[in-house]
Amino acid sequence: MKIFRHFLLILLLFAENSFAQTFEVLPLGVYGGLNEANISSYLVKSTSSDQYIAMDAGTLYAGLVKAKMLQNISLNPTDFLQHHVQSYFISHPHLDHISGLILNAPSLKNKTIYGLQFTTDAIVKHYFSWDTWANFGDEGEKPQLKNFHIATLQNEQPIQDSISNLKITPFILSHASPHHSTAFLIQNKDTYILYFGDTGPDRIEKSTHLENVWKYVAPLIKKKQLKAVFIETSFPNSQPDKLLFGHLTPSWLNKEFTTLANYTGKKALKNLSIVITHIKPEGDHENTIKNELKAKNPFHLKWIFPKQGVPLYF
């Protein structure tokens, strides 16, 4: 009996270890438009570190004000950014993914902005320009204020972020062809989170970029190493295909998971955490999208609707 009890205890410890939380994500902005105080930005860190990386930076300051009000952080927003967020990964240069960073640029020092070439080019050309604002970067127009180092990533080439101790791999996406966006696969030891910037379905975009990412992460899902997928659902199902502008609906999202299931098998997707980002909160769209996702969930995914300033653990 005693041996049996010991065996149970060991089993329990083992189970706890393999399901231990390894990531914290603090959403600073969760919508895809309208409310400029709550648009795409997610801080990600290892649970064993106090250094975050930012996935997009639509809203920074207002999200940290909310997090502080909820007592989920203790520093004021500017000190928090200065001490805890050194690296900013931008999926694409649309303003709803970078405006918070641009507006906070004067008070930030020694930061790095990472993006694929189309992103860093647009930032240098259009935002860190003396015609529109000031050049806070270390490339392009002179004088350069150099608050930020601009680091251009290569598609599918991982980089090790020595400050957060996370490894990040970018994947190019299609976002209203011929325009692009990026997915970032974030690795913390042998666990992963996958963050998608805005993207349309492969069939509408006439692309294979999403399928390419699914193929890449399928083995990680099968081994239960991928802990969460952050992906957009901008519009409800009533949005006509010709007016998607490079975005997904609940129905198109499920079609994409059908492609993923071809690589993982259906069973492997059960209870996978899917964080729904970038809802465009016009009219009653937010409730409609949530209801449509709940009503039709053929792969038994775990839909998560993030809240500004409330940390998620995976």
> What is the Cα–Cα distance from 82 to 75, expressed in whole angstroms?
10
Nearer to Zn ion, 198 or 292 (CB): 198
Q: How far is the CB of 280 from Zn ion (least distance, A)?
A: 9
Minimum distance between the CB of residue 72 and Zn ion, rounded to whole angstroms?
Answer: 24
On whether the CB atoms of residues 51 and 163 are closer than 8 A, the answer is yes
The answer to whether the beta carbons of residues 165 and 187 sit under 8 Å apart is no
Which CB sits closer to Zn ion, 88 or 299?
Answer: 88
Q: How far is the CB of 58 from Zn ion (least distance, A)?
A: 7
Q: How far is the CB of 1 from Zn ion (least distance, A)?
A: 59
Q: How far is the CB of 2 from Zn ion (least distance, A)?
A: 59
Residues 226 and 220: beta-carbon distance below 8 Å: yes
Nearer CB in complex with Zn ion: 84/94: 94
Smaller CB separation from Zn ion, 198 or 205: 198
| Residues that bind Zn ion in the complex, under the rule CB under 5 A | 32, 94, 96, 198
Cβ-defined contacts of 30-33 (< 8 Å, 24+):
30/277, 30/278, 30/279, 30/306, 30/307, 30/308, 31/278, 31/279, 31/280, 31/281, 32/96, 32/198, 32/232, 32/234, 32/247, 32/277, 32/278, 32/279, 32/280, 33/96, 33/280, 33/281, 33/282
Q: Which is nearer to Zn ion, 218 or 253 (CB)?
A: 253
